[in-house]
Amino acid sequence: MSYFDAASAAPLHPVARQALLASLDEGWADPARLYREGRRARMLLDAAREAAAEGVGCRPDELTFTSSGTRAVHTGMAGALAGRRRVGRHLIVSAVEHSSVLHSAEEWEAAGGEVTTVAVDRAGAVAVEAYEAAVRPDTALACLQSANHEVGTEQPVAEVAEACRAAGVPLLVDAAQSLGWEAVAGSWSLLAASAHKWGGPSGVGLLAVRKGVRFAVQGPVDERESGRAAGFENLPAIVAAAASLRAVRAEAAQEAVRLRELTERIRARVPQLVTDVEVVGDPVRRLPGVVTFSCLYVDGETLLHELDRAGFSVSSGSSCTSSTLTPSHVLRAMGVLSEGNVRVSLPVGTPAGEVDRFLSVLPGAVAVVREKLGAPLPVPAAAVSGSDRYGDPLVVDALGRRCPIPVIELAKVIGDVPVGATVRVLSDDEAARLDIPAWCEMRGQEYVGEEPAEKGTAYLIRRLS
C-alpha cells in the first residue's frame, strides 16, 4: 500500500520513534518537581524547547507546547485578539485558511467582532496589496497560512508580514504544512504548527508568540507553559516532536528537490493520461510534495475508493466525500473544479517507482468511475449555426442528484442546442454552484449566471461552440 496523504499526517519519522521510546523511560516524571526524576524530565523538556525554537526561528521562552496544532491556533488567535482589544475588534483572514483559523474567526464574529476575508486568485494565493488594503486602524490581528493544506500553494508570508508590521498589526502564521521544510521567513508575530505534519507524533502543537506582542491568555491559567497551555505536558511526545523536526530539517533541502521532481512528473503526466483534468494550485510557489487535480465527470469519493483498491491512499477536497456534501472552502475560494478532486501528498522517502505505478493506475480508475456514472463522450463540434432568437432554454432537471451528475447531464445535452442557445440546469446540490462555471471554462462554453427556481437553483449556460 502506498501512502500518499502526508499533508494530513506524515508517517512517524524513525527519529521520532526512537526519541519517544527513550523518553518514555527517562521523561515520565513531573518536570516541575525538584527531585532527581523531575530534574531529568525538566532537562528533556528544556532541550526539546530549545530544539523546536531553533527550528521555528524564535527564542525558547517564546515557544509553548500545546496539545495540537488546532489548539495552538485557537489559543494564539484568542490571546492576540484579547491582548489588543483596546485597538479594536477587526480580524483579517484569507479565504483558504485551515478550518481551525476559520472556526476561530466565526466565533470571534459571533461575539461581536468583525472579520475581513481576503480573496485568493485561481492558484490559491493572496495578493499582498489585498492584505494592505484590508488593514484598518481598528485591526487587532491578521492571519495567513504559510502554505495551503489542500493545493500546496505557498503564500507571500514575508511580504504580508512586513506590510502588517508597518501598520502595527501582528500577523499569526499557520505554518503546519511548511515548518518541516523550512523556517517561516519574515517579521511574523505569532506562529502555530503541528508535529504530526512533519513526522512527529500526534497530539503536539507549537505556538510561538514573539516578545513585544500583546497577548492575554484566555480561560483558566496554571503555572505550566507560561500559562498558555494548561495541564501536564506530554513530555515523551514533545521530545519526539522536537527530535523529528530537527531530523526532517536536516534532510529537507535534498528531499525537497527529489519530491518536487516527482510532483512535477504527476502535474505533467496526469493531463496527458486522463482527459478533462484540471491541475490546480500554483505551479511554482508550492510545497515540494503536494499536487492536486480535479477530473470532470467523476465522483470524488468513488475515485478515492478505486485508488484505495489499487493500493494508493490519497485524499480529496471534492464535495463528494463521506464527510461533507459541500465543496471544499479552498476550492470554492479558488473557483476551480471540485468534481473528482484528488490531492497527492508524498511523504519523505517516497520511491519514484510508486509514483510511476500511480500514474499507470490512475487512468483506469478514472475510466471505471466515469463508466459507472454514465459520463458523456466528448461533445462534437457544432453542426448547427445559431440564429438571432431562440425559444425557451433546454431544461436539465438534476434536482436531488449529487455531483457530478448535474454536470454530466449538462454535458450530454449541450450539443443538442444550436450555438448561441442556452441550457437551464436545475440543481439543489451546492457543488453545482462551483462545478458548472468551472465546466464552462474548461469546455469553452459561456456561464451566464444563476437565478432562483421553484426548487433549488437554475444555472444558465450558453453554447458557444
Q: Which residues are catalytic?
A: 320
Grid look-up 431562440 returns: 390
Can you spell out the DSSP letters for 124-193?
Answer: S---HHHHHHH--TTEEEEEEESB-TTT-BBP-HHHHHHHHHHHT--EEEE-TTTTTT-PPPS--SEEEE
CA angle 215, 101, 204 (to 5 degrees): 75
Contact status, residue 147 vs residue 153, Cβ threshold 8 Å? yes
Beta bridge partners of 144: 173
- Angstrom distances, CA of residue 402 to CA of 233, 298, 429: 46, 11, 6
Q: Which letter, b or e, does each residue of 392-408 get, where b requires 16 or more Cβ atoms within 10 Å of its Cβ?
A: ebbebebbebbbbbbbb
Q: How far apart are the first and last CA of the chain?
A: 44
Give the E-state strand segments of 8-54 in sequence order: none
β-pairing, 90-94 vs 114-118, is: parallel
Note whether 403 and 432 are within 8 A (CB): yes
Amino acid 6 reads A
Q: Which helix (H) or strand (E) holds 461?
A: strand 457-462
Instruction: At 339, list the grid cell.
Output: 468534481
